[in-house]
């Protein structure tokens, strides 16, 4: 969930920003709970696997029983599969969405207006950006990180006539 910045319309209000930020923080808390549950599940799998290895597989290898030979030989290779699949699931289902939410939460924090002067000189500021910044100031808030990033993207594109939506 990110904030879309369009310099041709009114900036988002403080209420809508705080609603989106609260939703993103709530979603982030859900992913943290999922992360904890996943880690507990992986710990239980590893403990059960380790116990099975100690109780069953290692004695079978020590006895060199022919019936269990191939099973005990290939069973340690399952360790790799357990961690590979577990890590893949963790990255896709928990870690990537969490990082996106962290980035979105960071982009919804207010930044100092001095950061905009490092991007664009006051002489170079187009009328649309100046009016947008005045609307933000009239709302009684500072520019968001997403808004500063959108101004940077717009300024770096060197297309002053193009004011399409700049997604943060």
Same domain, yes or no: 64 and 122 = no
The residue range of the domain holding 23 is 14-107
Task: For residues 61 and 122, state if they share a domain.
Answer: no
Per-residue pLDDT averaged across 17-27, rounded? 89
Q: Are residues 116 and 157 in the same domain?
A: yes
The 3-state secondary structure of 92-152 reads HHHHHHHHHHHHHHHHCCECCCHHHHHHCCCCCCCHHHHHHHHHHHHCCCCCEHHHHHHHH
Q: Which of 27-36, 77-86, 101-110, 113-122 has the lowest mean pLDDT?
A: 113-122
Together in a domain, 31 and 87: yes
pTM of the model as a whole: 0.66
Name the nearest CA neighbour of 12 among 147, 127, 128.
147
Asked if 34 and 100 sit in the same domain, the reply is: yes
Q: What is the pLDDT of residue 165?
A: 45
Could you say which of 80, 107, 134 is where a domain stops? 107
Residues 102, 135 share a domain: no
Strands 166-167 and 4-5: what pairing? antiparallel
* Same domain assignment for residues 91 and 75: yes
């Amino acid at each position: 969930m990110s904030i879309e910045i369009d310099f041709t319309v009114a900036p988002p209000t403080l209420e809508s920003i705080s609603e989106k930020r609260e939703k993103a923080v709530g979603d982030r808390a859900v992913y943290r709970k999922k992360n904890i549950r996943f880690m507990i599940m992986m710990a239980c799998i590893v403990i059960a696997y380790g116990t099975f290895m100690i109780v069953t597989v290692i004695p079978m290898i020590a006895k060199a029983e022919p019936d269990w030979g191939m099973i005990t030989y290939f069973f340690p290779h399952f360790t790799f599969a357990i961690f590979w699949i577990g890590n893949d699931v963790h990255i896709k289902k928990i870690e990537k969405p969490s990082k996106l939410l962290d980035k979105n939460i960071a982009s919804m924090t207010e930044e100092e207006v001095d950061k905009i002067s490092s991007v664009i000189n006051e002489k170079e500021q187009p009328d649309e950006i100046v009016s947008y910044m005045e609307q933000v100031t009239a709302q009684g808030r500072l520019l968001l990180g997403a808004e500063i990033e959108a101004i940077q993207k717009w300024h770096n594109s060197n297309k002053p006539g193009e004011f399409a939506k700049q997604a943060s």
